[in-house]
């Protein structure tokens, strides 16, 4: 678990923890914070990898933006990831209660924690989801 002390509102951290992090592979699967993911284990085995980070560029610092602005940020993140040669899988962060709109995201495979944090900071994100060989995703707070 991430022991980082945060200035983020507890309600926002709770929302991040309850989010369904959808990974759009074939077959698609959902990862949940703190829960073992057999889909993630299978993906890591198939690709001979052991790390991945779920990252979005939408709604920087938790501030809701228009669909057009979020789409532009998402495309910028995609371009950064593709130009750096990182392997990505399309994803989507969705609210199981339906209270807030979901966010297009990427599961970035084989990337280091430092690289993932740098990208998240560049796109002004509050948190990312870290996945390692345990296949138990962890919420990594950045602010």
pTM for the full predicted model: 0.92
pLDDT value for 115: 95
pLDDT value for 1: 43
- pLDDT tens digits for range 38-48: 999 999 999 99
Q: What's the rounded Cα separation, in Å, for the pair 91 and 130?
A: 14
pLDDT value for 4: 55
Contacts with 69 (C-beta within 8 Å, 6 or more apart), sequence order: none
Mean pLDDT by 10 residues, the chain (143 residues): 69 93 97 98 96 97 94 97 94 92 95 95 97 97 90
Does residue 137 come out as left (phi exceeding 0), alpha (psi in the -120 to 50 range) or beta?
beta
Are the C-beta atoms of residues 23 and 39 closer than 8 Å to each other? yes
Q: Tokens standing for 25?
A: 């592979």
């Amino acid at each position: 678990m991430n022991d980082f002390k945060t200035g983020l509102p507890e309600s926002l951290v709770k929302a991040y923890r309850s989010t369904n992090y959808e990974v759009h592979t074939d077959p698609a699967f959902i990862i949940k914070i703190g829960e073992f993911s057999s889909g993630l284990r299978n993906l890591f085995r198939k690709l001979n990898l052991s790390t991945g980070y779920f990252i979005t560029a939408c709604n920087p610092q938790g501030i809701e933006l228009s669909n057009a602005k979020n789409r532009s940020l998402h495309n910028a993140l995609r371009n950064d990831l593709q130009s750096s040669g990182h392997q990505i899988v399309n994803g989507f962060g969705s609210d199981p209660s339906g209270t807030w709109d979901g966010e297009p995201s990427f599961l970035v495979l084989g990337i280091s924690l430092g690289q993932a944090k740098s990208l998240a900071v560049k796109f002004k994100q509050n948190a990312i989801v870290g996945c390692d060989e345990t296949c138990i995703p962890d919420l990594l707070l950045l602010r």
